[in-house]
Structures are given as structure tokens and as C-alpha cells.
């Protein structure tokens, strides 16, 4: 089968969420046409979906072995499918492939998200029937209501960045070896035929390229996964792991950057964190043969959080995903923050999900590699891993503008050390505001008066909104830093200096 997914995964409803797959026992043109239209509209930015014809699934789970299709029916369905797809507008054509599964013939219709959405199709097979928009909602194809229609029209202006074509590159820059390695790892049947298939055909099959004015351009996701140096196209598309053994106020720290294809930097960074910073504690229990075991940080929670950072970050913002390992916590930071639809209370309670995914194609590849599920299960998995390890729940930090997202994992109680001496110089109330960024900013200012550009230059920062939200605003709110021209906050001559409280904190540092 020449599709970037193996049949075992497609016929296992636990692997692919129901919003992305639909089973049909036989050929029924009207509902199949509407489902194709819905997958093309990709209302939740999940990457389209699959229609599998020849499989019964009365309760959403496929019954195996499938009834399958007769060979003469298969040929007829493929011819009629072309006529049905031609009734969708703008023009949209899925990728179809016949296959044999458990000695039965089936037809797989791969419907990638269309870049010309929104799509309409007729309400029925009657030539005079009206037309409407269709979308997927859970496991059903439904007609979009008026509000959903408006959203679909707005989505026309926003093709996710990872699914956009890259006009600064050509297909020559896509590494066939990396593609074949990926296909082998996900056990795709496309792997066997890829060695004899022209590169252009392989890239089209995997929806990694798009034609513009008769030129085949790679999509951004193709360069992110199948080029050895994605950072040359997307600066700072990397993971930085920074270790502060004595805290952020000390001069000694180590930093390691991971660059390369996204799946590789993710697995390499996780391996590095696991081998260098995750520790196990074994405590014998009196009167019991078993010992209590725990880790300073639960690996499964760190893995899920870092996967989510790669999945949900913006690759248009030139800031890396940063992991900070401190004496009392581990933080994972990315840009921008969560969806504005999530309230501050929901974020604080770890009770929110993304309505839409920022990078639908990145998520698609990570799912196939089983690095993430993409079903809104990330936060629950993190919570479960923390509970199982006996760790405190993570704390999410962001700002009103949702310009950044930081997940903070407190170290397990068994590994805690006495409170750092810095907080002895401030009240308990103020100590709550002494973040790593505030400490760093206080140390940089010292006894000087400094402007925003000077501070950003000394801190080696380039993203002004994140500087203001992570460093400047918290320091001002906590009373550590004051303006030199407070009556004109937006003055071009504005500078910042330490308050008496800030000087007291500096003395502690």
C-alpha cells in the first residue's frame, strides 16, 4: 500500500482518533462525498483523515476480518470516486489506494487537509441539490452551522505554518534516506516501494510538496523532519537544555543545544535529560521487604511536556524550546502560550485543551512515531505520571497576552534541599515573585540604570514581548525594579533601576 501509514494502525481505532477515520462497509457515494469534504475542511487542524471502504464498524471499532470488496466492485468504486470528488469545490482530489488485509480487498481513501478551504459539496447526489460546508465533529460528519461557516471562511486566510510551502527551498533539499528511515520506523507499506519510486511521486504520496506555477515546492514540515539542518530554514528550531547546579544567580552553568530533524532532537534531548539529570531515590521501609522508589522528576511527564512543546510551539518565533534544570525544579519553556480561549483558572487547574492544533502536520508525524497522541491527553498523562511518582503537580506560567508557555516541575520532596539563602532576604510574600528570570534581570541591572534595548542585549534576548512578560513586568510588579521616568512609562528615554527591595535581593544574590 503506497500510503504513509500501515494498515494495522488504520484498522485500530485506538491508534487514530475517531475524528480522523471513518469506516464504510460498502460504496455509498453521498455520505462518502460529505466526509471527503469534511476532512478537506479540517476544521480542527488535525491533518485531514481516512475513509476505509470495505470495513464494518457498527460501534466505531472495526470488525475483523473485514467483509472486503470484490475486485470488480473495487474497480467500479474507484471510477465513481473520481466523479464524486469532482463535485467538491474548490477542486479537491484525495489519494486512493487498494490493499489486501486479512485476505480481503479494501479501499483506503486518504483525504489530507486542503489548502483551498473552505470546501463545499452538494447536499445530495441530485444534480440540482444545493451545496453546503461539512465538518467533522467527534466521529461524525455534520453540516456546518452559521457560526462554523464563518470560522471556516476565516480559516481560508490561515494555512498552518507547517503545512505551507517553502519557496526558499527545493525538493533537492529533502533527504530520501531520512524519509525511508521514517517509513521503516512507522512500519509503512510505502517503505518497500519507495526505493523504486521517483522522489516526486513519493513526496506527493506523503503530502510533503505542493505545486505552485508548475514548480514543486517542499512544505515546511518536509524540511522540519526530512532535512539534516532545519534550523537553517527555521532559526532557533532547536531544544536547549541548560543546567544551573547552583541556581540561576550563580555564574556556573552548562548548556547543550540539540539541532536537526524534529523527531531526532526530541529523542536525543530526552535521552540526555534522562541520563544526566533524572535520579532515583530508594528508601527502605521498616518491617517491609519492599522499598519506596521515586525519581526527582517523572520521566513520562517530562517526555510528554517536551513533546507538547515541540508540537505546539510557533516556528515563526525565533526562540528555542528551553529546558532549565535547577536545584529545586525543572522547567520547559516555549513560545507562544496556550489558546486565549483557555481561562487563567483553567490553566491554573491544569484543566484545558487546545481547540485547534497550531502544527497539524508536525502532530501527524509525531503521532505516527507514537511520540504523542494529539487527543488532548497530554495534561492528563502528565498529571498521572506525577501522581504515580509521588511528585507535586506541575505549575503552568504564562501571561495575559499568552506570549509564552512554561511548565514548571517541582523536584520530588525526597530530593529537596534547604531553601536557597536568597529568599531569606525577602518576605514570604515577595519570595513568591522571585522567579529565575527576575533574579537574572536583577543581577544584570545591578547598580546601573538601563534601557530596554540594553537589558535585552545583556540578557541575549531578541523577542521583546517575552522579555517584557517574563522579566520586566514580574520584576516591576514585585517591586524589585522601578522606572526612572514613572510619569511617562512609554518615554523613549525610559530606563530601569533597582528599588530598595531590589537592592536587598541583589545583596542576597
Report pLDDT digits (tens) over 474-492.
888 888 899 999 888 888 9
- Give the single-character DSSP code of 5: S
Terminal-residue alpha carbon distance, the chain: 63
CB 104 within 8 A of CB 66: yes
E strand or H helix at 280, and its extent? strand 280-284
337/313 Cα distance (integer angstroms): 8
Residue 271 φ/ψ region, left for φ over 0, alpha for ψ in the -120 to 50 degree band, beta for the rest: alpha
CB 162 within 8 A of CB 360: yes
| SS3 at position 226 | coil
245/293 Cα distance (integer angstroms): 23
Q: pLDDT value at position 433? A: 54
With CA atoms as reference, report the closest residue to 106 among 73, 150, 128, 143. Answer: 73
Query: Residue 427 above 50 pLDDT?
Result: no
Place of cell 506570549: 403
Phi (first) and psi of residue 363, to 5 degrees? -60, -40
Domains, the chain, ranges and CATH?
A: 1-156 (3.30.950.30), 160-227 (no CATH), 239-415 (3.30.565.60), 421-508 (1.10.10.10)
Query: Residue 385 above 80 pLDDT?
Result: yes
With CA atoms as reference, report the closest residue to 21 among 55, 70, 69. Answer: 55
Query: Residue 115 above 90 pLDDT?
Result: no
417/432 Cα distance (integer angstroms): 18
Q: Are strands 321-325 and 239-243 parallel, antiparallel or unpaired?
A: parallel
- 360 pLDDT band, cuts 50/70/90, is confident
Percent of the chain whose predicted confidence (pLDDT) is above 70: 91
**What predicted TM-score, i.e. pTM, was given to this entire model?**
0.65
Q: pLDDT value at position 6? A: 67
Q: Choose the most confident range, by mean pLDDT, from 11-15, 252-256, 295-299.
A: 295-299
Q: What's the average model confidence in pLDDT over 364-374?
A: 81
| SS3 at position 202 | helix
E strand or H helix at 78, and its extent? helix 71-85
Q: What's the average model confidence in pLDDT over 348-358?
A: 74
Q: What's the average model confidence in pLDDT over 135-147?
A: 91
Number of residues that this document lists for the chain = 509
Q: What's the average model confidence in pLDDT over 30-52?
A: 91
Query: Residue 155 above 80 pLDDT?
Result: no
- Give the single-character DSSP code of 112: P
Could you give the C-alpha distances from 151 to 18, 374, 430, in angstroms and in order? 22, 22, 44
Q: Are strands 321-325 and 291-295 parallel, antiparallel or unpaired?
A: unpaired
- 3 pLDDT band, cuts 50/70/90, is low
Could you give the C-alpha distances from 50 to 9, 10, 25, 136, in angstroms and in order? 11, 8, 14, 12
- Give the single-character DSSP code of 298: -
Report pLDDT digits (tens) over 300-312.
999 999 999 999 9
Q: pLDDT value at position 420? A: 45
442/453 Cα distance (integer angstroms): 16
- Give the single-character DSSP code of 197: S
Q: Choose the most confident range, by mean pLDDT, from 115-119, 151-155, 197-201, 377-381.
A: 197-201
Here the cell at position 415 is 530530593
Amino acid at each position: 500500500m503506497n500510503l504513509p501509514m500501515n494498515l494495522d494502525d488504520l484498522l485500530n481505532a485506538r491508534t487514530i482518533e475517531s475524528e480522523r477515520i471513518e469506516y464504510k462497509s460498502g460504496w455509498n457515494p453521498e455520505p462518502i462525498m460529505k466526509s471527503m469534504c469534511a476532512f478537506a475542511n479540517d476544521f480542527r487542524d488535525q491533518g485531514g483523515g481516512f475513509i476505509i471502504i470495505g470495513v464494518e464498524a457498527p460501534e466505531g471499532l472495526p470488525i475483523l476480518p473485514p467483509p472486503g470488496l470484490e475486485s470488480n466492485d473495487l474497480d467500479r468504486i474507484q471510477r465513481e470516486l473520481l466523479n464524486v470528488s469532482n463535485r467538491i469545490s474548490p477542486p479537491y482530489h484525495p489519494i486512493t489506494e487498494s490493499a489486501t488485509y486479512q485476505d480481503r480487498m479494501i479501499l483506503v481513501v486518504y483525504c489530507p487537509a486542503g489548502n483551498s478551504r473552505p470546501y463545499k459539496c452538494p447536499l445530495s447526489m441530485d444534480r440540482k441539490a444545493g451545496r453546503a460546508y461539512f465538518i467533522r465533529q467527534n466521529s461524525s460528519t455534520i453540516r456546518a452551522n452559521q457560526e462554523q461557516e464563518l470560522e471556516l471562511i476565516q480559516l481560508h486566510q490561515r494555512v498552518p505554518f507547517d503545512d505551507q510551502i517553502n519557496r526558499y527551498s527545493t525538493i533537492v533539499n529533502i533527504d530520501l534516506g531520512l524519509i525511508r528511515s521514517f517509513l521503516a520506523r512507522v512500519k509503512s507499506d510505502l517503505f518497500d516501494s519507495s526505493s523504486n519510486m521517483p522522489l516526486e511521486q513519493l513526496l506527493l504520496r506523503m503530502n510533503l510538496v505542493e505545486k505552485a506555477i508548475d514548480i514543486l515546492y517542499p512544505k515546511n514540515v518536509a524540511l522540519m523532519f526530512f532535512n539534516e539542518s532545519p534550523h537553517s530554514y527555521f532559526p532557533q528550531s532547536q531544544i536547549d537544555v541548560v543546567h544551573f547546579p547552583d541556581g540561576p544567580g550563580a555564574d556556573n552553568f552548562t548548556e547543550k543545544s540539540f539541532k536537526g530533524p524534529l523527531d531526532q532532537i526530541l529523542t536525543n534531548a530526552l535521552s540526555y535529560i534522562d541520563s544526566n539529570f533524572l535520579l532515583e531515590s530508594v528508601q527502605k521501609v521498616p518491617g517491609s521487604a519492599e522499598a519506596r522508589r521515586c525519581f526527582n522528576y517523572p520521566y513520562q511527564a517530562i517526555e510528554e511536556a517536551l513533546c507538547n512543546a515541540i508540537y505546539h510551539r510557533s516556528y515563526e518565533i525565533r526562540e528555542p524550546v528551553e529546558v532549565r534544570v535547577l536545584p529545586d525544579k525543572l522547567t520547559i519553556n516555549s513560545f507562544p502560550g496556550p489558546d486565549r480561549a483557555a481561562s487563567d483558572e483553567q490553566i491554573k487547574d491544569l484543566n484545558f485543551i487546545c481547540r485547534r492544533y497550531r502544527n497539524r502536520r508536525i502532530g501527524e508525524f509525531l503521532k505516527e512515531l507514537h511520540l504523542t497522541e494529539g487527543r488532548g491527553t497530554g495534561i492528563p498523562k502528565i498529571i498521572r505520571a506525577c501522581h504515580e511518582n509521588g511528585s507535586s503537580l506541575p505549575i503552568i506560567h504564562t501571561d495575559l497576552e499568552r506570549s509564552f508557555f512554561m511548565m514548571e516541575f517541582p523536584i520530588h520532596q525526597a530530593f529537596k534541599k534547604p531553601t536557597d539563602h536568597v529568599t531569606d532576604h525577602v518576605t514570604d510574600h515577595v519570595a513568591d515573585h522571585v522567579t529565575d528570570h527576575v533574579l537574572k534581570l536583577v543581577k544584570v541591572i545591578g547598580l546601573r540604570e538601563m534601557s530596554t534595548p540594553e537589558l535585552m542585549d545583556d540578557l541575549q534576548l531578541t523577542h521583546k514581548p517575552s522579555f517584557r512578560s517574563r522579566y520586566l513586568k514580574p520584576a516591576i510588579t514585585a517591586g524589585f525594579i522601578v522606572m526612572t521616568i514613572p510619569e511617562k512609562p512609554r518615554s523613549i528615554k525610559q530606563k530601569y533601576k533597582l528599588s530598595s527591595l531590589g537592592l536587598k535581593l541583589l545583596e542576597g544574590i
